[in-house]
Amino acid sequence: MTAPETTSAPVPTPAAPAGPVPVEVIDRSCRWPVMVLLVLAAGWMVVAGLLAVLAAIKLHAPGLLAHQAWLTYGRLQPAAWNALVFGFASLAGLAVALWLTARLSGAPLRGGGFILLGALVWHAGLKFGLLGILAGDATGFEGLELPPYASPMLLMGYLLMAPWALLTFARRAEPEACVAQWHVLTALWVFPWVFAAAHLATTFLPLRGVLQAAAQAWYLQNLQLLWLGYLGLAAIFYLVPKLTGVAVPSRSLALFGFWVLTLFGSQAGMARYAGGPFPAWMTSVAAAAGALTLFGVVAVVLNGAGCARAVMGRLRDSVVLRFVVLAGVVFAGTAALSALNSLLGVREWTQFTLVTPGLDLLWIQGVAGLALLGAGYFLVPRLMGLAWPMPGLARAHFYLAAAAVGVLGVAFLVGGWVHGVALGDADLSFLGVAKRYLPFASTGTLAQLLWLLGAGLFALNLLVLVVRACRLAVAPVWRAWRTPQPEEVRP
């Protein structure tokens, strides 16, 4: 962290600070950019929750609110997904990434004004994008729906924000980067390439035929694993040692897991279209890569098991740790199931079923969402110098979010299997298939409702804290202005 710099260590850049920077200085440099990003993320989380609940209800109540084109399922669903991914998860991820980079580099965050501007450009772009989706301008590719006038704005906003993390990293006090830092930097580095390449290949300079879908599958895999998944893993790898006081048990194991996940994880996207209209080798490569990611997952799990005892002792009194540990557990389960799901024998039964959206949502809400919420609960009091006004709400949020992810996982994975078996039974009419999956799809509504309630509690807690901080900041000025000035003494 901010360990004193040894004199023998090579100084990375000439501009590196001479001595260790106090944590308070680093936190103060982060206060505005990170808090603005987090407040925006909390707002988007509520919006995404509302849209997701509405979309989930429409799946089993198809006659509801049917008269409005913008409220049809085919528009609400992508709007909810984009609000969740680019509103909540990405903005919270950026907030955590910037703060973690500054803390771990032992250097104050640079470029605060640009980051604020970038956050607003991203926010505005996403607003245009969501309105566009609801108006029917979505590009149609699942996960890449943002219309062509919105996606460049997001990229522009990103390019105003993320480079400052790299510039801060370049001025780091310690040359050795730690495990959490690899994940943060990889996520920050990968996102713009993946986002830009996928939008170019599908929308701006579309490839021929099904290659558009191949680019989309590649993008979704990298978005879920290398962007959101790694931001979540970074929070886990930072906060668990921090809160338990036990270092990551094996650095080399972590290094192995990191490279295995990066190398094979990014190859595994095409498993999404197994058996589809593609050359068979494409899905075979993806299936093999997906299976190989298991080694990386095992490495992460072994590292986690190494500090399990220390974690269990502290779990009772730290909400942050609970969020983060649950995210780790969900990561292990989701990554293992994703690897299993890329095997062709399994894919035959799970393709085109609830398993596909189920695993996607587990990556976003279960892995990235839970870990980033935990990080949010950790960093806000430190940045603002104020405790959470309602710690009870934070505990309630944990139980709601955990229940949401649990219900979601069980309903969509079990339901997906039922759905797949029903689809595979050619004697069953499609109405019969619908009857089989509907109970599980309706349970998805419950999961989204629980998630929305949790989001509301988080937003409320954050709002009260920000208002309190503003009042504290304004109070002395107000009091000074209100107190009558002593009259000038005339000579």
Residue among 4, 22, 74, 381 that touches other proteins (CB under 8 A): 74
Q: What is the C-alpha separation between 458 and 396, in angstroms, rounded?
A: 10
User: Which residues are within 8 A (CB) of 35 and not within 5 positions of it... i.e. 6 or more apart?
Assistant: 95, 380, 383, 384, 466
CB contact at 8 A, 49 and 109: no
Q: Which is nearer to other proteins, 61 or 472 (CB)?
A: 61
Give the nearest distance from C-beta 424 to other proteins in angstroms: 5
Site for other proteins in 286-325 (CB under 8 A): 286
Give the nearest distance from C-beta 204 to other proteins in angstroms: 12
Give the nearest distance from C-beta 160 to other proteins in angstroms: 20
Residue among 4, 19, 206, 313 that touches other proteins (CB under 8 A): 206
Q: What is the C-alpha separation between 160 and 479, in angstroms, rounded?
A: 38
Site string for other proteins, 114-153 (x = CB under 8 A): ----------------------xxxxxxx-----------
CA-to-CA dists, residue 202 to 101, 147, 272, angstroms: 33, 11, 17
Site for other proteins in 358-417 (CB under 8 A): none
Give the nearest distance from C-beta 198 to other proteins in angstroms: 9
What sign does the dihedral 312-187-294-364 (CA atoms) show? positive
Q: What is the C-alpha separation between 101 and 177, in angstroms, rounded?
A: 10
Give the nearest distance from C-beta 371 to other proteins in angstroms: 20
User: Which residues are within 8 A (CB) of 313 and not within 5 positions of it... i.e. 6 or more apart?
Assistant: 244
Residue among 2, 29, 77, 82 that touches other proteins (CB under 8 A): 77
Give the nearest distance from C-beta 432 to other proteins in angstroms: 10
Query: Per CB under 8 A, does 101 bind other proteins?
Result: no
Give the nearest distance from C-beta 459 to other proteins in angstroms: 28
Nearest to 401 by CA among 350, 456, 438, 348: 456
Tokens 């990434």 label which residue? Answer: 97
Give the nearest distance from C-beta 281 to other proteins in angstroms: 8
Residue among 4, 275, 385, 391 that touches other proteins (CB under 8 A): 275
Give the nearest distance from C-beta 469 to other proteins in angstroms: 35
Query: Per CB under 8 A, does 200 bind other proteins?
Result: no
CA-to-CA dists, residue 63 to 66, 73, 334, 441, 444, angstroms: 6, 11, 34, 16, 18
Region binding other proteins by CB under 8 A among candidate stretches 191-199, 293-301, 305-313, 474-482: 191-199
CA angle 444, 342, 328 (to 5 degrees): 60
Region binding other proteins by CB under 8 A among candidate stretches 153-161, 239-247, 353-361, 444-452: 353-361
Region binding other proteins by CB under 8 A among candidate stretches 27-35, 67-75, 109-117, 367-375: 67-75
Nearest to 228 by CA among 121, 366, 131, 347: 366
**For residue 35, which phi and psi values (nearest 5 degrees)?**
-65, -40
Q: Which is nearer to other proteins, 69 or 305 (CB)?
A: 69
Site for other proteins in 211-240 (CB under 8 A): 211-215, 217-218, 221-222, 226
**For residue 401, which phi and psi values (nearest 5 degrees)?**
-65, -40
Residue among 6, 7, 68, 483 that touches other proteins (CB under 8 A): 68
Task: Give Cα 379 to chain centroid, integer Å.
Answer: 16
User: Which residues are within 8 A (CB) of 126 and not within 5 positions of it... i.e. 6 or more apart?
Assistant: 44, 82, 83, 86, 87, 146, 150, 154
Site for other proteins in 414-473 (CB under 8 A): 419, 423-426, 430-431, 433-435, 437-438, 441
How many residues interact with other proteins (rule CB under 8 A)? 97
Q: What is the C-alpha separation between 227 and 268, in angstroms, rounded?
A: 15
Q: Which is nearer to other proteins, 60 or 468 (CB)?
A: 60
DSSP 206: P
Give the nearest distance from C-beta 184 to other proteins in angstroms: 11
Give the nearest distance from C-beta 468 to other proteins in angstroms: 39
Region binding other proteins by CB under 8 A among candidate stretches 179-187, 305-313, 393-401, 467-475: 179-187
